Amino acid sequence: MIIPVRCFSCGRVIGSDYVRFTDRVGEIKKTKNREVTAEEISEILDDLDVTRYCCRRMILSNAELLEEILPFD
């Protein structure tokens, strides 16, 4: 679904970080023509200053289902 604006556990704003995260992941996929590695994901989250594991799980575990649900409106 849509990423929550704040982390459920600590309350840090993560909604804007999610957009930057997906942009960076998409950039790697496009330029290197492969899936991102766990190390690259970790580096991206560190660059975005998402250091707490509660916030990391919010970004990593989000499933983008909005486009799949829209036809059933």
- Kindly state whether residue 6 participates in binding Zn ion, applying the rule CB under 5 A: no
Which residues are CB-contacts of 4 (< 8 A; sequence separation ≥ 6)?
14, 15, 58
- Of 2, 37, 43, nearest to 19 (Cα)? 2
Nearest approach, Cβ of 34 to Zn ion (angstroms)? 30
Which C-beta is closer to Zn ion: that of 45 or that of 55? 55
Which residues are CB-contacts of 5 (< 8 A; sequence separation ≥ 6)?
13, 14, 15
Per CB under 5 A, the list member of 32, 52, 64, 65 interacting with Zn ion is 52
Count residues binding Zn ion (CB under 5 A). Answer: 7
- Kindly state whether residue 3 participates in binding Zn ion, applying the rule CB under 5 A: no
- Kindly state whether residue 54 participates in binding Zn ion, applying the rule CB under 5 A: yes
Backbone φ, ψ for residue 43 (5° rounding): -65, -45
Q: Could you list the residues that contact Zn ion (CB under 5 A)?
A: 7, 9-10, 12, 52, 54-55
